[in-house]
Amino acid sequence: MKNHRGISPRQEAAAERALCQALLTLRTVDECRDFLRDLCTPAELQALADRWTVVGLLQAGMPYREIAKQTGVSVTTIGRVARYLGAGNGGYELAARRLGER
């Protein structure tokens, strides 16, 4: 997270943790959707949904240009998602694996 508001890294980490804890209180897809629609602008929510879609297509082995053609997501964003999928914090991989276990 970029800090442009003059808050300390500790405050920023606490705010991120509080957001994560709020997400963990949600019990259904509908509750999560309602929360995200309240939290995010339509453009932010679309960007998140696009990135998640790209994760699945990358894991399926689809080439970047085909993903861009199919989704309208830029090749730059696809590359960024691929970089975090391969060398990020493991969140994409964990969520995808858990969804696949259902």
What band does 5 get if pLDDT is binned at 50, 70 and 90? confident
Average pLDDT on 17-27 reads: 98
| Residue 66 CB coordination number (10 Å) | 11
Number of compact structural domains in the chain: 2
Q: 27 lies in which domain range?
A: 1-39
User: Residue 27 has which token pair?
Assistant: 């019990």
Question: Which has more confidence, 7 or 43?
Answer: 43
Angstrom distance (rounded) from CA 64 to CA 66: 5
Write out the two tokens for 52.
């998640």
Q: Are residues 60 and 90 in the same domain?
A: yes
Which pLDDT tens digit goes with each residue over 49-87? 999 999 999 999 999 999 999 999 999 999 999 999 999
Residues 2 and 49 in one domain: no
**Residues 55, 85 within the same domain:** yes
**pTM of the complete model:** 0.88
Residue 61 — φ and ψ, nearest 5°? Answer: 90, 15
Which residues, at least 6 apart from 70, have a Cβ–Cβ distance to it below 8 Å? 57, 62
- Determine the pLDDT at residue 89: 96
